[in-house]
Structure 1
């Protein structure tokens, strides 16, 4: 498992939240493979647990969840190092289920919400200083809800208009989803905000 995959799994915590006394576990089921051996030798379970805990604190700060009551309650987060066919990863974003980190395809969620969730995860990664090589730069993309780096950059722009915007948006997404959340929080429709964002970075 590469460092990019580990960083991505850490960002899943932005979706699942967390309680106060969380236990972090790491299981390497690929110890007899080159990747599993490299994980043990270069990263290791202890460092991964420390990193998961530090990532939790960082993400709770991003989402302004300083009070444990504001977080989704759970006792354990498990990280699994597994062997997957490369084809499985082609279009497979990471996701969390039962407080375990896994990888999965698009699932059955609303497409716009799916890509907004991916954008929020990449926004956290952006704020942590881990943009991936090849990420779209500010102002790029055709739609605000393309997901991943395009949506992350747009959310960064919106957060610049109102500090804490993404934290407030994340809170709203707990119960439902509507593109009107942008209007509620910033006083403009998401389409207007997207047009202004594009104009800001126009060459």
Structure 2
């Protein structure tokens, strides 16, 4: 039986596809790969009801990290809906607009905690891509956007054990866990740094944002970060 979630509270309304909602945003998950081993594992261990609740919880968490209690401050999503489709595709996951696509092949091949590390952690990362500003500049500066997504995953407590430790990495905009750790350092210098950075990204990317917010250029901040952690 599939349940309908309204602001995180389950009701007994049975639907063809489970949905969840928060702040008038609807969250919908579908598994189109139930005939594959990865899709079957998704159904057995996770399920669309849980996945939709993760989408809802992750969105609320992103809004808190981005300091966006007012929906007008958030990046708009198509039809006020965030969707997840589990598909028989390669890779891990990708997001296009407000649609998240999760690889059933990846789910099926993972040997660790599938529910927490693969689905919950990955979905928190992908949900950030739905809501973060500035994606028009993603092609030129992917590191900062992937770093912000992993920063949110880190703050939510879903950083997997294989991530780099603080101070590791070759450059600040390396992306993913490296940049996430660096952004966490920047956020320690000024609480809410990532929220301020995300808001500025609405108007396009500029390294000068680091100077505007923290008073130092990003290269100096990277050097300070490496020195602090002996990286």
TM-score by length of 2: 0.71
1:108: Cα distance to partner?
8.5
| Structure 2 CA distance for aligned equivalents of residues 174 and 27 of structure 1 | 31
Is the CA contact 2:29–2:51 (under 8 Å) kept in the aligned structure 1? yes
SS at match of 1:65: coil
SS at match of 2:223: helix
1:51: Cα distance to partner?
1.4
| Structure 2 CA distance for aligned equivalents of residues 190 and 108 of structure 1 | 18
| Structure 2 CA distance for aligned equivalents of residues 109 and 156 of structure 1 | 20
| Structure 1 CA distance for aligned equivalents of residues 137 and 151 of structure 2 | 23
Gaps of 5+ in 2: 1-21, 103-135
Aligned pairs (5 A) from 1:40-59: 40-59=43-62
Match of 2:188 among 154, 157, 160: 160
Q: What does residue 230 of structure 2 align with?
A: 202
SS at match of 2:83: strand
Q: What does residue 73 of structure 2 align with?
A: 70
Distance 1:172 1:50, change over 3 A: same
Q: What does residue 132 of structure 1 align with?
A: 160
| Structure 2 CA distance for aligned equivalents of residues 108 and 126 of structure 1 | 23
1:110: Cα distance to partner?
3.9
1:133: Cα distance to partner?
2.4
The structure whose RCO (Cα within 8 Å, separation 6+) is larger is 1
TM-score by length of 1: 0.81
1:198: Cα distance to partner?
0.6
Instruction: Write the deviation string for residues 70-120 of structure 1: whole angstroms up to 9, x where unpaired.
Output: 1122311110101114xxx2xx7x4422311137xxx99444x21100000
Aligned CA-pair RMSD: 1.9
Q: What does residue 87 of structure 2 align with?
A: 82
Give the strand-richer structure, 1 or 2. Answer: 2
Q: What does residue 97 of structure 1 align with?
A: 96
Gaps of 5+ in 1: 1-18
